Amino acid sequence: MLTGLKFAFRQLVKTPGFAVTALATLALCLGANLAIYAVVDAVLIRSLPFPESERLVAVYNSYPAAGVDRAGASISNYYDRRGAIKAFSAVAIKQDSSDIVGQSGSPRRVSAARVSPDFFSTLGVPLKMGHSFTDDQMTYKTDGVAVLTDAFWRSEFGGDPNVLGRTFLNDGLTVQVIGVLPPNFRYLSSEADFYRPLSSDPNQHDAKSRHSNGCEMLARLAPGVTVAEAQAQMDAFNLKQLTDDPYAQIVKQAGYHTVVTPLQADHVSEARPMLLLLQGGGLVLLAIGGVNLANLLLIRASGRTKELAVRQALGASPYHVARDVLTETMLLAVIGGVIGILLGAFGIRLLALLGTNHLPLGANIRFDARVGAAAFAASVLMGVLLAIPLTWFNVHTKLLTGLQSEGRSGTPSRAAQALRNFFIVAQVALAFVLLSGAGLLGLSLRHVLNTPSGFRSDNLLTGGLTLPWKTYKDGPSQLAFVEKLVPALSSIPGVTEAAVINGLPFTGNINDSAVTVEGHIPKPGESLRAHYQTGATSQYWKAMGIPLLEGRFIEDRDDHHMEKTCVVDKGFADRYWPGTSALGHRLSNGGAFDPKDCATVVGVVGNVKQSTLVENAVHGTIYFNFAAAPSGSFHFVIRSTLPAATIAPMARKAILSLDADLPVDDLKPMHERVDDTLVTRRSPAILAGIFSGVALMLSAIGTYGVLAYAVGQRRREIGVRMALGAQPEQVLRLFMGLGASLLGVGLALGILGSWMAGRAMQRVLYGVGSFDPLVVAAATGVMVVVVFFAILLPSRRAAGVNPIDALRDD
């Protein structure tokens, strides 16, 4: 084995051009796959860091007929289901929050969470010190306790081992530390620094509150129980509960059911199709690189047929030939794999610049021994696969042909030629699939970017505020602060409009609730519909650039009237009052119209995308005056004549002048919030473009290498043809025709493959079919141009052969 390795190494050193090209091809393709695999492994493959994590499931309510496929769960659901469903050994709920911590004059906002007492035990996570909450601490009067993460314990308390019993300020209230979590604890993609009890009032536990969703529910399956069995028990439990549900008829019409699904799969479901597509693209690139390298090895082996024939004549068996081939390809693959691992580790850092940290579980993406081992195994497998065609070629080389191959009568093996030509066709086809796939993703991204959001994001600064509960306990105090905030922001030089809204688009904070419209009679079997709801101040629509279509905007005076007012968007108005005016109509929340608690429509505005630019259905949005929907957590928007970054410091100063204890750390231009939702579309399009560019380069190199070798092998034949009267242009046409035929077959297979790939990509495309003629035409044009030059260069070399020199060879 050592002798074989030394011999293989000497062979690589003797041909540095080949060695560098082969190693670069391997390293580039393996490195790209390693970087993508690190993301796929962290998000889709690696188990969650909890004991027996495969038994953890997400549980959420769904009302599809009402337009709400996922509504979370309610506090009432938690108390009803805990201990009642035998398929679950434990049930817990969670609700994210944004909290203020720190002393007066130096506050800061941190991520936190409210959880039930059995949250950590459901996950199977023991606390590092202290204990979790108790049921007695789940009320508003007794919930002043917290469990800290290890990072928050170290940053806030300096890692004090006697931290239990110490206190800190949370939203102006004193909170006592009762526990500390182990290092590196993280629940899915949560960034919570500490956890507090999800407190509630007893009236939130009754049947009327069963559908007041707003929490995440998770459960741990009992040993031996499957997800399907848990789903069946949940369905039976819901059916039983409908007998005393005050909203039974309404939720039945809405298609109410509860979904039980594996926790990890549910959390990454939106990212899964795109990640699998990227990994598939990486594997196609690896296949192109492997085919390219196989061709180079076959060409190199063809030049060594005489050496091989002599070795066979001296007694080398097929086993010895195969062993030497495998040794050489494995050496090449291992060296290329090591370089590829280094490139892949660097590539993982580059992917972070494309926003992989925004993916679910994106914080777990890293290069470690697990990823490195997978990459090394892939390089070993690559070496074995490369050895197969090369071994076949060497073992089947005829002794007489090999000894004659450097003589005047030597001609290349037809089987070897066919194999090399097959590889060229495969390269062209695979590269075309990658190129057309990148084109489809690029076209899809362009359609997304050209989709109207319904507002203008230029020179629009946004920011989030959470008012501490101790100071702003109720709606009047929150409204009073907002009435001071809006004028303060409006007085900033360059600001044209400023406003406040409870649920800003593209922040995930907008409420989605059922609404009843006065006088609207549902059709038989028609369900009550849920619509987006939010509260806004008077200048919101002007600040956002949302057009007024009918009536008027909400005005400041509406906040102080007894009668509530609202503005609805065109989608909502068209649903309930098609062809007529929406003005003057009334609506209320819930399953029945309540004339004592309703709002009158005073205006209709344009539709606005609320969560992503690719929202297909017009969901319908209702904007109440802020006093009708006050909140201690809201966003402000500032329209100015200056860039948003210029306004940000002045906005922070204006807010702190009103309340020095308010942290202002969520300032962001509106276009950045929109861009953050495009990471799963923009990054794949960029990577697919890079992959297709590399694939084009490899295809061109492979085509050039095969044709250049063919010219060298047929040099004597060309000389004979020209000596007998063949013109250079005829020789040129001969080799151009050969290259063109290979290109044509490859393109034909590539077009078929691109159609199949397009069908597989439909879940991640927007506004693009599986077969786009313009994309196919553009991909064909690019392939023809690139491969044409790869064909032209060796063909011109063939046409320039001097017949006398060719006949004098050997």
Q: Write down the domain spans for the chain.
A: 1-51+267-406, 64-255, 408-453+677-810, 469-660
**Given a cut of 50, is residue 400 above it in pLDDT?**
no
Task: Say what the pTM is.
Answer: 0.83
pLDDT confidence of residue 407? 44
First-to-last CA distance in the chain?
36
Question: How does residue 713 score in pLDDT terms, banded at 50, 70 and 90?
Answer: low
- Residues belonging to the chain: 810
Q: Please report, for residues 215, 314, 316, 321, the alpha-carbon distance to residue 4 in angstroms, rounded to integers and kept in the order given.
A: 64, 17, 13, 11
The separation between CA 667 and the C-alpha centre of its own chain, rounded to angstroms, equals: 24
Lowest mean pLDDT across 650-664, 698-712, 773-787:
698-712
pLDDT 10s digits, 556-608: 887 776 678 899 999 999 999 998 999 999 998 877 788 888 899 999 999 99
pLDDT 10s digits, 74-120: 999 999 999 899 999 999 999 998 888 877 667 788 899 999 999 99
Query: What is the mean predicted confidence (pLDDT) over 636-661?
Result: 90
**Given a cut of 50, is residue 169 above it in pLDDT?**
yes
Q: Which of 320 and 90 is assigned the larger pLDDT?
A: 90
- Beta carbons of 99 and 192 less than 8 angstroms apart: no
Question: How does residue 717 score in pLDDT terms, banded at 50, 70 and 90?
Answer: low
pLDDT confidence of residue 259? 96
Mean pLDDT is highest, among 24-33, 230-239, 626-635, 686-695, for: 230-239
The separation between CA 371 and the C-alpha centre of its own chain, rounded to angstroms, equals: 19
Q: Residue 332 and residue 296: Cα distance in Å, rounded?
A: 13
pLDDT confidence of residue 411? 45
**Given a cut of 60, is residue 405 above it in pLDDT?**
no
pLDDT confidence of residue 608? 92
pLDDT > 90: what percent of the chain?
A: 33
pLDDT confidence of residue 297? 80
Lowest mean pLDDT across 21-35, 531-545, 692-706:
692-706
Tokens of 552: 């008027």
CA dihedral 83, 88, 89, 91 (to 10 degrees): -70
| Cβ-based neighbours of 693, under 8 Å, separated by 6 or more | none
pLDDT 10s digits, 30-85: 998 998 999 999 999 999 999 999 999 999 999 988 888 888 899 999 999 998 99
pLDDT confidence of residue 304? 61
pLDDT 10s digits, 342-358: 998 888 888 888 777 77
pLDDT 10s digits, 407-448: 444 444 566 677 778 888 888 898 899 889 888 888 988 888
Q: Residue 236 and residue 130: Cα distance in Å, rounded?
A: 38
pLDDT > 70: what percent of the chain?
A: 89
Q: Mean pLDDT in the chain?
A: 85
Q: Which of 592 and 639 is assigned the larger pLDDT?
A: 639
Lowest mean pLDDT across 181-185, 197-201, 731-735, 777-781:
731-735
| Cβ-based neighbours of 168, under 8 Å, separated by 6 or more | 101, 146, 156, 157, 174, 175, 177
pLDDT confidence of residue 805? 60
